Structure 1
Amino acid sequence: MSVSFDIQSSIANYRVVIKNGAFAEVQRQDENSAVLCDNFFETAFSGNARVISVPANEETKSLKSVPDIIIKMRDLALTRQAKLTAVGGGSLQDVATFCASIYMRGIKWDYIPTTLLGMVDSCIGGKSSINVGRYKNLVGNFHPPETVIIDPNLVLSLNAEQKIAGLCEAVKICYARGSLSFSEYMQLNPQVDMDVERYADIIELSLKAKKWFIEVDEFDKAERLLLNYGHTFGHALEGASNFEVSHGIAVGLGMLIAINYAQVSRGLKQTPADTQQLKDYVVGLLDQIPTLKEIIQRIDVEKVFECFISDKKHSASHFIIISVNNSGALERLFIEKTEINIVNLKSAISSVISQSYK
């Protein structure tokens, strides 16, 4: 399979290439380039002296890790004409975007996502999100890559939980795009155990759905905000679990919390058909993670809420989330910071932690 398309950006247009076997081509680097990869892929570039490897974790996408990477880039004598090739998952992508944007006021870079989550979602959009201290995604910027190169064969190296994390993000994007996109996704019958070609179809569908959002609203001012569906609650679950719950899984849980909040607070007596289908599908995915129930049942609701209220998307007077309306469409919901609303929010969180969302 080989598919390519362009992303229009006011900063610089860039190309997405989906091609089986593309990773082998990326391993051959020219003299004026360097590789920033997670530790797992370090040996794949053993013949290239210009390799910076970092752990694939939340610590890597923190502000305190940036100086070390920048110094290593300088130690490799990278010039302003150099290109950085980033190889890894979402955390690696965040720090690569940020470092490429500030090194010598910005150098070109390419990105090769190695997780399904990165392939279906974060590889396009040009954003970096960097943790600072205990605050998740507090700083960041926009610096799109020159090329995004996706090799669906890399999905075969992932475990079931990593695949589920990616599918949670993919279905979220397609649901946010609307009924037609969501229907196309569900018709592909996406499951954990699929062949590479079907995963490639999921990747293409998800990215083309997200392409619409980032081209009409590049800097997160309007339509693109709908892609935060599941993220505000999800980030809170990540933080409260000390990141035992990974990002994609947390987004899946976050979508369920948002649906429950709509039912509790907005009198959503009958769940819209698409929303119910989404809920059943996500629950079916999450049920395939044997350790998840035990992990989330250890999480304290108050700690989740503490992380929730510190989210950067809220205003001084309102909590701001993405939720479903009576027709099942997504919309931004401004929740006044009243006692009853706080009770309802905690109730929605608790329903997922206690597994009563079913």
Structure 2
Amino acid sequence: MRVGRGLLAGVVAAHADAIYLVDERLAHLLPASAAKRVLIEANETRKSLEAMPDVILKLRELGANRSTHIVSIGGGVLQDIATFAASVYMRGLKWTYMPTTLLGMADSCIGGKSSINVLGYKNLVGNFYPPVEVVIDIDFIRSLDAEQVIGGLNEAVKICYARGAQSFADYLADGPVWPLPPEIAQRLLTRSLTTKKWFIEIDEFDRKERLLLNYGHTFGHALEAATQFGVSHGVAVGLGMLVAIDFAKRGAHLTPAGTAQADALARHVEAMTDIVVESGVRWPRVDLAAVLQKFDNDKKHNSEFYRVVVPVRDGELELISIPRTDATRAALRTSYEAIFAQLGIDSAAQSSAA
């Protein structure tokens, strides 16, 4: 993995014969020598099982064979598409990933997971197929707006909080801010990726410790899907963390010390969310019944229990099982309603009949 500035030209020079899977909004940045291109509209619809045949056929049209190298340039959507397509095309092609969003740089670029939507359900299928190289060019951050940067910072703080109190404190000391200067971005990315590397090395295939990195995701994915992804992923993860904290506090999962630790995270996420709103982003109207239905169908649950990551005891994270009962669903609803009300998200009109 390399992190630096001005790295795009070197990647293209090293892979002149590669096929480039590129976010169509970034195509103008590629030199003409990167001639074989598959331009992709980077949205959740394209990151779906239904859209994968189109990508695979375009690889075929460009002459991809077992020795072809793929270079993916874009955010998390492009990463998911490239991971999946490279893994199944002729049983696997080598590939390089250049993340262009802060969310991709800070979190998803390492770990090798693809997460693909199916018929509107978020990340229902996927696999593990890591790139042979990850190259992070910090210059791409200059093209990102406040919502995109805050979304990435939400994932970064999630990783550091999951590692423990000291890691969380060190992250805050690095000074996450908007706008994000290159020197601070370098520190934050190094810390976030080094911390995530610890989770990957001890639990590569998501069996135990790495599952803690789902913090905020189960609650957040439901909000994304229920709004047809009108709330972006990184922002939804931040809101998901807030809902998880509220749920843990109402369920008496936390000691006084744990409440203080979780509240410190909540204050940070709320401050980041305020920046998103101040930048001009407006919340979509939310059908709370749809949110709860999407939550109910999350792939991480089983037939008897919901499986969610929440802060417990002194603030550390734990994957807990809670029974799928009417009482639990009422408690989940209460926590969503509390956070929506706090942030001024309109959910009452559509959820009143639910």
- Residues 1:200 and 1:31: Cα distance change in structure 2 (over 3 Å): closer
Residue in structure 2 matched with residue 151 of structure 1 by the alignment: 137
Residue in structure 2 matched with residue 272 of structure 1 by the alignment: 259
Kindly indicate whether the alpha-carbon contact (under 8 Å) linking 1:45 and 1:51 is maintained by their aligned counterparts in 2.
Answer: no
Residue in structure 2 matched with residue 333 of structure 1 by the alignment: 320
Residue in structure 2 matched with residue 314 of structure 1 by the alignment: 301
Kindly indicate whether the alpha-carbon contact (under 8 Å) linking 1:32 and 1:81 is maintained by their aligned counterparts in 2.
Answer: no
- Residues 1:265 and 1:151: Cα distance change in structure 2 (over 3 Å): same
* Shift in Å, 1:26: 2.2
Q: Is the partner of 2:275 in helix, strand or coil?
A: coil
- Residues 1:344 and 1:139: Cα distance change in structure 2 (over 3 Å): same
Read off the aligned partner of 1:295 and give its amino acid letter: W
List structure 1 segments (4+ residues) > 6 angstroms apart after TM superposition. Answer: none
Read off the aligned partner of 2:131 and give its amino acid letter: P
Residue in structure 1 matched with residue 283 of structure 2 by the alignment: 295
Residue in structure 1 matched with residue 335 of structure 2 by the alignment: 348
Q: Residues 9-29 of structure 1: CA distance to partner in whole angstroms, max 9, x if unpaired?
A: xxxxxxx11011112322335
**Equivalent of 2:229 in 239, 243, 248:** 243
Residue in structure 2 matched with residue 45 of structure 1 by the alignment: 30
Residue in structure 2 matched with residue 126 of structure 1 by the alignment: 112
1:45 and 1:356 mapped to 2: Cα distance?
Answer: 40
TM-score, structure 2 length as denominator?
0.93
Aligned ranges 1:1-358 → 2 under 5 Å: 16-28=1-13, 30-45=15-30, 47=32, 48-266=34-252, 268=254, 270=256, 272-290=259-277, 294-295=282-283, 298-355=285-342
* Shift in Å, 1:294: 4.9
Read off the aligned partner of 1:56 and give its amino acid letter: A
* Shift in Å, 1:254: 0.1
Q: Residues 281-337 of structure 1: CA distance to partner in whole angstroms, max 9, x if unpaired?
A: 0000001122788525x2122111001001000010000100011200000110101
Higher mean Cα deviation, 102-111 or 17-26? Answer: 17-26
2:343 and 2:9 mapped to 1: Cα distance?
Answer: 46
* Shift in Å, 1:43: 2.0
- Residues 1:152 and 1:30: Cα distance change in structure 2 (over 3 Å): closer
Q: Residues 130-175 of structure 1: CA distance to partner in whole angstroms, max 9, x if unpaired?
A: 0111211111011000000001121111001110000000000000
Q: CA RMSD in A?
A: 1.6
Identical amino acids, percent of aligned pairs: 46
Task: Identify unmatched segments of 5+ residues in structure 2.
Answer: 345-354
1:347 and 1:81 mapped to 2: Cα distance?
Answer: 54
Instruction: Tell me the number of residue pairs that the alignment of Structure 1 and Structure 2 aligns.
Output: 341
Kindly indicate whether the alpha-carbon contact (under 8 Å) linking 1:293 and 1:355 is maintained by their aligned counterparts in 2.
Answer: no
1:285 and 1:63 mapped to 2: Cα distance?
Answer: 33
Task: Identify unmatched segments of 5+ residues in structure 1.
Answer: 1-15
- Residues 1:287 and 1:346: Cα distance change in structure 2 (over 3 Å): same
Q: Residues 162-201 of structure 1: CA distance to partner in whole angstroms, max 9, x if unpaired?
A: 1000000000000001112111101112111231011011
Kindly indicate whether the alpha-carbon contact (under 8 Å) linking 2:97 and 2:109 is maintained by their aligned counterparts in 1.
Answer: yes
